[in-house]
């Protein structure tokens, strides 16, 4: 992995000290909860005391910093394992499988997830034109990168605002701008630069991703999607698959199945109403695709998830 451009090489000891400080502060704030949306815009804390089963979720553009334990996130056929030495950068809304793979009562899994403000990214790029370079690699809009001392120091200052609510409105944006700037300066930040740079193929593909996200219940027509992205159909298909590791139709299907699962688990819908609610016209097709995605039929899967939830 790469060091951030222009960063000062901190000693491993200093980085470990900052990581320990951040873990202590996160543990103190979250207590025994499994997650805590903080008062700081976009910042959520997570804690688990045992490994978890794989869970299908959609990640927003964000940076996830693990300070204890390990996590595995699978996008398509690519898995990203990361712990205290690396963070996960997500540049687009991506349906993934997420799993805590290392956690215990003695050393719980602790993670800080910061949602990225793409408008802020664009504003910083407009003030630093040299950062807005074109990116032509066919790599997904997700990667891991080294968690440097600079990042840990910034997150320590950010999380401290939870205990100084009077400072959040002013200081939070300043610290988050610093974090985004450091991401953009890194080699791995090229993915985020591409998504945010107006006119770039990554940014135009992101418009197609956003359209599917907002209209996933509707029938998907590639001509409509290509028009949204201002691309030819074959060009969009190529860039879409490169960024998301799936085709537009597969992406839509993942969103539909994730939302149907949520409707059954959280809102008490039966399988048929969940299927029609997310855009399926055939309950049997929904059952087949759900079983293929989650390993068992809808109702059996939801019952199993509720049993796990009751145990926790």
pLDDT for res 77: 86
pLDDT for res 3: 42
Structural domain total, the chain: 3
Let me know whether 79 and 221 are in one domain: no
Let me know whether 36 and 176 are in one domain: yes
Let me know whether 149 and 208 are in one domain: no
pLDDT for res 7: 43
Let me know whether 50 and 160 are in one domain: yes
Let me know whether 174 and 267 are in one domain: no
Q: Domain span at residue 22? A: 12-195
Give the C-alpha separation, 47 to 42, whole Å: 17
Let me know whether 26 and 153 are in one domain: yes
Q: Are 96 and 244 in contact (CB under 8 A)?
A: no
Residue 4 lies in a domain: no
Residue 5 lies in a domain: no
Terminal Cα-to-Cα distance of the chain (whole angstroms): 36
Chosen domain end from 230, 246, 262: 246
Residue with tokens 């944006």: 173
Indicate which CATH number applies to the domain containing 282: 1.10.10.60
Residue 225 lies in a domain: yes
How does pLDDT run across 215-264, given as a tens digit for each residue?
Answer: 999 999 999 999 999 999 999 999 999 999 999 999 999 999 999 999 99
Give the C-alpha separation, 297 to 291, whole Å: 5
pLDDT for res 1: 39
Residue 113 lies in a domain: yes
Total-model pTM: 0.87
pLDDT for res 158: 98
pLDDT for res 196: 82
Let me know whether 85 and 142 are in one domain: yes
Give the C-alpha separation, 62 to 113, whole Å: 7
Indicate which CATH number applies to the domain containing 171: 2.60.120.810
Name which of 125, 118, 131, 126 is nearest 186 in CA terms.
131
Could you say which residues of the chain have pLDDT below 50?
1-8
pLDDT for res 6: 41
| Backbone angles phi and psi of 172, in degrees to 5 | -60, -45
Give the C-alpha separation, 312 to 310, whole Å: 5
């Amino acid at each position: 992995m790469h060091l951030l451009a222009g960063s000062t090489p901190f000693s491993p000891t200093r980085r470990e000290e900052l990581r320990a400080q951040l873990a202590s502060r996160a543990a103190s704030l979250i207590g025994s909860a499994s997650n805590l949306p903080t008062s700081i815009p976009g910042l959520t804390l997570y804690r688990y005391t045992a490994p978890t089963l794989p869970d299908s979720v959609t990640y927003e553009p964000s940076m996830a910093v693990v300070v204890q334990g390990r996590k595995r996130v699978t996008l398509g056929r690519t898995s990203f394992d990361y712990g205290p030495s690396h963070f996960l950068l997500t540049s687009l809304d991506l349906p993934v499988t997420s799993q805590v793979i290392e956690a215990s009562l003695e050393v719980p899994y602790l993670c800080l997830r910061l949602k990225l403000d793409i408008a802020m990214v664009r504003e910083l790029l407009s003030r630093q034109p040299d950062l807005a370079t074109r990116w032509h690699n066919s790599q997904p809009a997700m990667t891991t990168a080294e968690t440097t001392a600079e990042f840990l120091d910034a997150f320590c200052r950010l999380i401290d605002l939870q205990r100084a609510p009077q400072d959040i409105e002013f200081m939070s944006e300043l610290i988050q701008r610093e974090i985004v700037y450091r991401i953009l300066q890194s080699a791995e930040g090229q993915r985020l630069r591409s998504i945010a740079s107006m006119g770039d193929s990554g940014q135009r593909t992101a418009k197609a991703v956003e359209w599917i996200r907002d209209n996933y219940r509707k029938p998907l027509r590639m001509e409509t999607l290509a028009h949204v992205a201002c691309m030819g159909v074959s060009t969009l298909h190529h860039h879409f698959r490169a960024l998301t590791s799936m085709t537009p139709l597969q992406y839509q299907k993942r969103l539909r199945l994730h939302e149907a699962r949520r409707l059954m688990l959280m809102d008490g819908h039966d399988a048929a109403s969940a299927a029609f609610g997310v855009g399926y016209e055939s309950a049997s097709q929904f059952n087949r695709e759900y079983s293929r995605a989650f390993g068992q039929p809808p109702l059996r899967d939801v019952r199993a998830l509720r049993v796990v939830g009751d145990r926790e």
